[in-house]
Structure 1
Amino acid sequence: MPLLAQAATLSLTPGTATLAEGDTVTLAVRVESSDQQVNAVSARLSIPDNFSVVSLSKENSVINFWTTEPEYSNGEVSFEGVILNPGYQGAGRTALTMTLKAKSPGDGNVSFVSGSVLANDGNGSEVLKGMSGATLHVGVAATQIPPSTALPTSPQKAAPGQLFTISSPTFPDQTMWYATTTGTFVFGAPKNATATRILLDQSQNGEPSVTYSSPLSQKRVSALPEGISYLHVQYKENGSWGPVESYKIQIDLTPPLPFAVIFPKGASGFEPTPVIAFNATDTLSGIDHYTMQIDGKAPLDVSAEEAAKTFTLPAQSPGPHTIVVTAFDRAGNSTLGEAGFFVAGVSGIVINYLALGLLIALVLLGALFLGYLLWRRFKHLLIDVTKETGEAESVLHKSFTLLKKDIHSHADKLERAKKTRALTTEETDFLTQFEQELSEAEHIIEDKLEDIPAP
């Protein structure tokens, strides 16, 4: 029995992530098998000490039947499941999704302790060739500055009578969306500022209410909410509060909603350029673009406008294929949609027509051979009939000649007897009629023999 090439891998997506203490990260355990169908997956993963497991999700898993439910115990996540017939073959599907929370600063590795991927070959052959984990970097969490406490920075003074400006290295563009809840804001305090009021809310016209006894030049804020927020800043100058400056912040941490990749004209057929359709939805920032990857090859960018209509795939070779469409919202969050399709080759049709042609040729050859045999049979029969007819004709001629000779002999005897005695009436009648009747009989025989066709 030929050995199967080991062609499956287990991996974590994303492979790296940077987050702050208290933040969460979602990792997907992916199984990939490009060369053959697989029907069983199992793994044990080690979780670093500075992380806790928030949840384990089987949603959208390639596994249909769980022989061991996903669980977290003694610092390890483990699972085992079966993919029902015909199994799975493709560039990668999610087996399990796990959400982790950073408990303390530091680097941690989520690694595979063990893993297994079995081929759907009737023997359960092991085909796992590699496993890759994820590296997580955790920084110190940002803290809110308590009231009346200034940051230890040198404030950038604004000219008297001028409005100050607010900027943010974390959120540099107020029209953009971001996927982080912690940020730093910088603002230049007026020259004569003696106090600061700040407020973070969801109103564009909010009035600052949290007072600091010193003129702040920057502030680091954590636990920013999703959606659109505004940071309002106000300074006190010469005993009175000045104008309010506001800065817009747009945060989206939620990936697009799950979506399906469909084939309006069917997922299997002879068309090498199948038509697909997909349309993801994001309730906050909206869909920015998609990437489309077929069989693990280089991804193709697709705009949201292009995806609003049906999309024709590039020409594909005959056989099974897997397409992975990733929807990205304007904050960079993403959701995968995956589907399989099959392009039937023309070789099957050629083989069918060839088989039909061979069958017709065999039938014709058989008919010709049968006709040849019948012709030979008829020819031999005709030869035999002709031969027998000739023999019969010869025998008939000889017999008639002998009969004629015998009759003439009797007639001669009567003629000789006539010279010595008187003939009876019967003998006289015989001599009178036999010549005429014998001549007529000879003519009749000759005519009948002429009716027999010549060979």
Structure 2
Amino acid sequence: MRIRTSLLINIFFIGVVGFLGIVFARHAGAAIISIETQPQPVRVGETFLAVVHVDSEQKVINAVEGVLKYPTNILEVVDVSQGGSFLTLWPDPPSIDAEAGEISFTGGIPQGSLVLDGIALNITFRATAPGGGELEPLDDKTHVLLNDGKGTDTPVEGVSGLISIVEEETVTLYSPTHPDENMWYSKRIFTVQWSPDTDTLYSYHITQSPGSLPDSDQDPMRGEAQYTDLIDGVHYFMLKQQPQNGNWRLVAIRRVMVDTTPPLQPEVEIGSDASLFGGKEFLAFSSQDTHSGIRSFTVVEGDAVTQEAASPYELRDQSGTSALQVIVYDKAGNASATVVRQFDTMQESRYSSAQLFIFSIILLVISATLFYIVRSKVLTHPPKSI
């Protein structure tokens, strides 16, 4: 009986271990796509940032494709930014299906890379109604491809982000330096203001971690705080208050987005293809921005300026004689430019400097020849004296 019981226990133990092994093996070494959200409840009307992270789990990858699901009954998408993403190649910008509550994206890494908790996307949501829910990667529509020459689809584990939205009244924060928390600014000095209540203590700080709360030590009650040297990135100003005979509680959060660094200088190529623009010459251009992301490109051809230009861009001047440059702007208004062709006053003619030099030599030769001929005639036939 003891032998039989021991045997049954061993079989049960082996079965449990085997089952757990199968369960954990399913995700062993799987790439992880996770969504980081704000841990504190969000109030109706407020905006918050959700960050999509990717960890390749020691694998070299070259592409990520994903669809993220969000609850449309309590959230709306304000902005999707690739700023700061480890994905540098975007065949198309991320798309939003507001009716289905889905955000789709496809990005690549041209040379492939190991990715350790890299940022893929930054998504700004606005809370529209109280309630709770999840931001989740859809398993059947999310893929991570290996940089193995075949684009092998590696297993993916999705980690959802939880959100909670409440209607609780909050302190209103205002910033004269950064008035819209959904916009990027190229200002390092940040000022925030609120109307303080009497007999109420306040504690506040600014941080780049949305989960880091202020301590419970009183700060000066003046209804204003200023920070003079914010680094590039997303910051959160958090305000706690303690009413008389009450407890400390978080009453306001304001996001501050700073980007003082221009985008990378645009990479520009002039090309032609029979399948594009009827074989006419066009510009192909691209750039990257570390923080806020690319807002737009402007193409300048001589005196003609085309804003919101898209690549590929058909050149207006097919003769190649106009000055030409491409300017890229990020979402904070910083700009970089690449001069493709530049002509000064002396070069605005249709002749190059080399051609002008050759013409000058020819003129000198002709002038010298004429001088020699005239001089020879004078010496051969001197004028008669009167």
Normalized against structure 2, the TM-score is what? 0.41
| Higher RCO (CA 8 Å, separation ≥ 6 residues) | 2
Structure possessing the higher radius of gyration over alpha carbons? 1
TM-score by length of 1: 0.35
Higher helix fraction (1 or 2): 1
